[in-house]
Structure 1
Amino acid sequence: MKEHATHWLSILEACLLVALGVQMINAAGLLVGGTAGLGLIAQQMLPNLSFGQLFFVINLPFYAVAIRYMGTTFTLRTFGAVTLLSLLSDLIENTISLQLAHPLIASILGGLLIGFGLTILIRHNASIGGITIMAVFLERRMNINAAKTTLCTDVSILLLGLAFFDLMTVGYSLVAFVAVSSVLGRYRQPKVVLPAVVLNPNVVAAKG
């Protein structure tokens, strides 16, 4: 019971860090990668919906893939993390002003917060869903490297962002991408081979 509570407390702390980072970047009008980036782009088209609402909905289709290929524990923790991140993001957006003097500062600080939050989620067999789940699915079904899928997706999100953001904004957003990747590359557990997920050991054993 104590270990179970520790896992969820860590996931809550991780989601708070990611939510702060995302809203810091959002307040500066920048982008991040993954489904969070898709949520920020979707908010440009659907301004009446909050980031938290859009982020939660975007992740829904991926849970069917997660439970089949990642296992029940990972799926439940990921669903919990996505739900917490959605709620915390909206709470922060409505109650705290995160405007910074320069978008470059927002991109660096926001990216670092997201990176540390994702690192904690990695160590507790969870993620913030979406792109990570699809990357693992493609790796297992089609032998497409998950890191390459994630990279291609993030680049695609940046290119898509050009339709809604100016070139300078996209450039600052790229700094946030680099900050997230830098933290993940240095602090995630060495045994983890994917950029934002720990594989369920039972699933790995079954596949072997």
Structure 2
Amino acid sequence: MAQTTPLSVHHTPLEDVQGIGLGVGLCAIGVTLLTQAGLITGQTAGFAVIISYLTGLNFGLVFFVINLPFYVLAWRVLGCSFTVKSLAAVTLLSVLSAALPQGLVFDYVHPAVGAVCAGAIIGMGLLAMFRHNGSLGGFGVLALLIQSKTGFKAGYVQLIVDALLFGFAFFLLDTSLIIWSLLGAIVLNMVITFNHRTDRYIAR
């Protein structure tokens, strides 16, 4: 069987701006939907949401600070371009997640609907950023690194991290909300697993 060579795509700066901007916007909407439903998400954002719930600190600020150590890993392993794009994306998400609830309020969100919709929206947002060689930093950087080095899919890496996160959250939050949140995390990671294919598409 002939081996398929992945398509290498060189995006223009304008394409990167719109792609990453769209991705961050979708993620901000998804996070707003999750938090207004009282749910959490996975990965670094999940840790930031939990800390925000427990301390009352702004999610955007906590998310930005948690990501700082991962920039060192991104710079050393994934390069300057990826790191700069990820820093810009994290900063923008921090700002949007603080501002968006001022203009987007959901009167009622059933946890099941909120989990599935937010998981899909955030997954598509992350996929848009991956396609433009960016990310929201954190454990996503580690997941992309493992996939590039070993072939073990980034979505599966993130599922493992999420399992640890939700195991911890069971001791802190309502059990039913954790279960619904876990559903959202599964949807999110399946979107990435089935659509982020570096054997088909490599962003430069």
1:13 to 22, 30, 33: 22
* Secondary structure of 2:12 counterpart: helix
Aligned residue number for residue 114 of structure 1:
122
Distance in 1 (CA, whole Å) between partners of 2:42 and 2:200 is 20
Q: 1:192 to 1:45 in 2, by over 3 A?
A: farther
Aligned residue number for residue 42 of structure 2:
33
Distance in 2 (CA, whole Å) between partners of 1:125 and 1:28 is 31
Distance in 1 (CA, whole Å) between partners of 2:159 and 2:103 is 33
Deviations 1:8-43 (A, max 9, x none): 121111100001001101111111111110110111
What's the TM-score, normalizing by structure 2?
A: 0.85
1:77 and 2:85 correspond:
yes
- Conserved 8 A contact 1:23-1:98: no
Moved more, 176-185 or 114-123: 176-185
1:4 and 2:18 correspond:
no
- Conserved 8 A contact 1:16-1:85: yes
Distance in 2 (CA, whole Å) between partners of 1:140 and 1:191 is 10
> What is the identity, as a one-letter code, of the residue corresponding to 1:9?
Q
Q: 1:15 to 1:30 in 2, by over 3 A?
A: same
What's the TM-score, normalizing by structure 1?
A: 0.83
- Conserved 8 A contact 1:31-1:161: no
Q: 1:161 to 1:105 in 2, by over 3 A?
A: same
Map 1:121-132 → 2, pairs under 5 A: 121-132=129-140
Q: 1:73 to 1:179 in 2, by over 3 A?
A: same
Aligned residue number for residue 101 of structure 2:
93
> What is the identity, as a one-letter code, of the residue corresponding to 2:44?
T
> What is the identity, as a one-letter code, of the residue corresponding to 1:15?
V
Distance in 1 (CA, whole Å) between partners of 2:168 and 2:12 is 42
Q: Give the CA deviation at 1:135.
A: 3.8
1:67 and 2:49 correspond:
no
Deviations 1:39-92 (A, max 9, x none): 101112220x21111111110111011100010000000101111111111111
- Conserved 8 A contact 2:48-2:63: yes
* Structure number with higher relative contact order (C-alpha < 8 Å, ≥ 6 residues apart): 2
Q: Give the CA deviation at 1:183.
A: 1.8
Q: 1:112 to 1:135 in 2, by over 3 A?
A: closer
1:155 and 2:146 correspond:
no
Percent identity over the alignment is: 31
Q: Give the CA deviation at 1:99.
A: 4.1
Distance in 1 (CA, whole Å) between partners of 2:67 and 2:191 is 24
